[in-house]
Structure 1
Amino acid sequence: MLQAFHTDPTVISMLTTLHHDLSGSSAHIEVPGQQIDLPLGPRILAVADAYDSLNTVKPYRRGMTHAESISTLLEKSGRRYDESIIRTLNRWYENEGSALFRLTESFYDAERTPEISQEHRDDIALLSQFIGVLCQFQQLYDGFFLLDARENYCIWSDGMPGLTALPVQQVLRRSWQTTDVLLAPAAEDSVAATERDDTMIVQALRTGRSQFASRRCRVSGNTWIKADVYTMPVIGPGQKIAGVIQLIRNKSRVSPDDVGRLTKLAMCDSLTGVANRGQLESRLRQLLEEFHAQDGTRSLSVIFLDVDHFKRINDTHGHQVGDQVLIDLARLLQHETYSLEVIGRYGGEEFVIVCPDTDLDAAVRRAERLRTSIMKSSIGGITGLSVTSSFGVAAARRIDTVQSLLERADTCLYNAKAAGRNRTCRESDLDSAATVEPGHSDDDKIRISESNGVFHFSDRVEVSTSLEITAMKLRAFISEHRGVVVDQEKGKMQIRLGTPGFFGHWGKTASRQPVDLSISFETTRNGRSPQEKIRTHRIVTVEMRSQGKVPGMDHFAARCLSLMRDLKAFLQSS
């Protein structure tokens, strides 16, 4: 990330060598093909960083005194920390005492906390995505580099020196050369000079198309490795090519551990560690096939749960606390469920538990036990934070698909939220709960009704992004569901999703269950007193109206709630 921001290579070198082990009492480290001196900067920074960490109070221990910190550092000196620097720090402290730390006081001035505008929040969200992508590249590939449109280096990952013997200092702030990463066809023994126009980099920049190839990559001298090489253009505003990235994976050293790690990354949610949506649906599909093969003689149930007022938690305490809530909740579910049950994060703050050999009554009891445990547990690590969840429970039927079973459980979940949250709704409650108008909170705006054979649904979503970015996300939702914009004016949009069957009846698939959506945007600002900070609220109001002949309210409710779940995932994503 620092490379992309054109940070001085000396600073980058200091930080990347910060935690290199020292070789005995000497100060040098090994890099591919050579031995270099470890500069004084990272050696000082390593000691200062460790000393500060030991002094600071942690949730799991008290902060150490100066004497305890120095003693701990000296125990690790010689290999991890430079002993001469530790002793210099100790003498400095003994001579100048607390005056040594006088410059740190300004960092704890709460009154100087800067205001963060909505534009800055959007920038932070984009930066978070950028960092997340870099982390994935770092985990999945042995090396990668990024060029801008002028073929100048922006990023040279710390794996690239091992693949090319070129340290970052020799690469950054100069243009790409064909000899930097020497690639040759995998089937050829000889190495012929590749014309510049024939390289994967130039072709990707010219055509805007991604390329994949198996190549031999020269590491050093006559040493070659087999590698998979992915080259992808980076598309900027206006569909212009802003750069190109090349990812390299060493095929010569793929081990069973690597395969297991990649498999886990593909199957598990990166934040909570439980199954991701794809793995959850795959496992549910297998269990449904077993259920159908035995003619429904065995039971199968699904529990859908959602954290109540999760957006309020994020807005009040920050996204870091919100993430911790999800992590703690996932751990609680793992501890409270049985080994054969499947726990998955379905999206956002929604989780699904698949319960084999469990009928509806037993699944409801299970959901109630989980709901009570969540309500009584300390989740999120914040004093005074009360976390509750709403639950929906459905049992498999002989005609069920993965989608239909999840939609029924999701409908039950939404009815639990409409009835006041922090409760469990089961399938038998659908008829009575579908028309309930919430009265426990001003935030609850879900309504489902019927008039002259036409069904109506309404809900509201609070978003944190500007109107322009919200509109972009809405366009992505429309494209994903193959919708049509019927009418549009400032702050309002009319959308049609799906088409009816030949005789106007609703079909079994979502594409054959047409609804009209009316979406409006509203921005309000309020403050209870002149001294109170004015808060901006951006509300998206969604109204749906059935088209065609709908079998019943439960079918319409399932369709609307499924659409709302997807719409919220688009609008509230970062």
Structure 2
Amino acid sequence: MSGTPNHPIQPSSDCSPTAAGSGLLSQLGSATPALSPSGLVDKTPDEVIENRLAMVRLGMATALYYALRTKHPPTAAHSLRVAISCSVWAERLRLPAETRDRIEVAALLHDIGKIGIPDNVLRKPGKLTVSEQLTMELYPRLGCEILSGCTNDAELLSIVRYSRAWYDSRRDSDAPRGQSICLGARMLAIVGAMDSMTTDHVYRPAMSHERAMAELLAGSGTQFDPELVHDYCRMVETQSETVPNQVITRWLQQLSDTRTDGPWGVTVGNRVSVANPPASDDRHQLFHSQLFDHMHDGVIFVDADRVVIGWNRAVERLSGVVSDAVCDNLWAPELIDMRDLHDDPLDDASCPLFQCLQSGVYSSRHLRIRSADGEPLPVHVHVSAVTGGQSEVLGVMAVLHDASRQTSLEERLVDLHEKATKDALTGVDNRGQFDRALAELNELASAGGPTFSLIICDIDHFKQINDVHGHQAGDDALVSFARVLKAHSREGDIVCRYGGEEFVVISPSSDNPTATRRAEAIRAAIEQTPIESLDNNTMTASFGVTEFQSGDSPETVLARADRALLRAKDGGRNRVVQLGAGRSNELEDSTNKPGRLASWMSWFDSTDHSSTEVRILTPVPTDLAIEKLRGFIADHNAEIVSVNDRKIIVRLNVLFSAGGRRRVDHRIAFEVSMQLSEQHQQVPNASVKRTQTIVDVHLRPIRNRDRRSRELSACVDQVTASLRSYLMGTMVAPRQDH
């Protein structure tokens, strides 16, 4: 994904639920009456919530949303998340109720035109051809044609029609531009792009929220309204994760009230018959689900229409492709870069899954796939048909067995886990193992190895559990909490008790979106797990998530995750908060490579330097840059020396290991001066200017003896790389006016 104006941010056709979207659904769902449409059974909890919310906002047009979900469930889920986010934003902007209603309805149905897009285009797992792209571009117009049969609300139709229009488009002379595009369409374009970028896709993993904001800011003035982009980014950066009560009230008004059905122009009462969905007691299905998710071998289910309907955790581990990105899309060998032993890619004719679909005959082959780290991975592939009562082939099941002889990083960490000491109460790893594993993974990632993520979690109101139910009940709560964490861990993950009621999960080769999604799954499981010693009541927990990023030390990774946890607790508890841009989504930059910062700037051309100067250009405005610097200062435990007229001076220590001595004995103290200035850059081929922030950084070792230290260059690299990561910026030549 490019951030330049010539490469638009595309809302996807195969959006999947993100952790943040699931969190909004959970908050709204917990406040929703236990209602479900008559005749709709065996729905997942999210589907039940989607049904209720769609009925509240759409009324008689709910059938359109159901039709879209039947056509392509991920697109419908994307539309609902976008609608809720637009509702939160509209509340912040204090828009009139009628305007908010119109924007929410348009957001729910802005992708309705995809009903008219052929399945082979909508569900295609790979890159679209030019003709297929032209077909996809028809869906806003098709959506207007569909909705025109339900409403004559011109503004609602305009929002849907121009939800993908560029703010300063020169490609379509007939399309409105700038402020002539209605407000709802300009808002919808931004929120839709944000949701698309933070969602996993087959062709691109999800971005962190920080990286997605940088992309939005890069497109401001060309693809997006610059003022709205800045306001939306401020909202995402500063607001808590809680959905405002006013928004919950608007979405969850009583269905029994008779009301005017908004833009549909019809007054209707509550025509929805309600009933609690029957509880499922299918224990066999539960056993099968557990087996599917916890098998060591990868398992893929493909139905007779060639649609992927199953993708277990082992396939995610082997290929690095998450299930949300592929399920409900067409199967193709290139999804995991399936090749023969001669390294020739398989086509449809040679794909064992397609062969089995046609013949129904079992097959076993030695093939290669692309592993999670991008390297070829030999696998044994066993494919068998799933048949019905009349020997009809209903689909195929493929089992992928890792045939490599190399021990992966995850397997080595599992071996270390087995040998390490355990926490006596919970059976998970202890604090010492956590410290060792975090230091090892940080060292590997700093040297250019795989990234990793850190989840820190804390049982809410644990002291109250001890006070009310006793310490034995508190111990039972800790054991139950650890059991849920282990049940949701992958092979290679390290689950540790950090201290008291705090636990941490270290997940190798996992980025921010993946870790956030898993933390949300753990949070939901904790909330639904009754504990006998608590009178069969449940408890809740709060989560902080982060990913390694350039310039990190073990201390900064942990501090950033802990800061996210504190924000989750301040936001009302029982929620997940993610902080940090992560490494997988950093800007491609020559300064991104280990050891390149000093040589790139030719800072250290002799053995004695008293100071170093660098300049960092960040795409965010100054107020957001200051917020990000606050995070840098907090996570590095830096001491603020002075703050004056956009100039900040801090002191911090950089730790390093050398000569086998204790780590605490080796550190260099720096004084870091940061001068912020705003730059207004003319956007090429556009009439607007883009606001950026320049941060001039001056680093000086405080002690004279450190100026000749052999480790000085590496420590400067670490500080500047960390600053660049926090600011989501790029290195530019320092100013020469001094």
TM-score, normalised on structure 1? 0.30
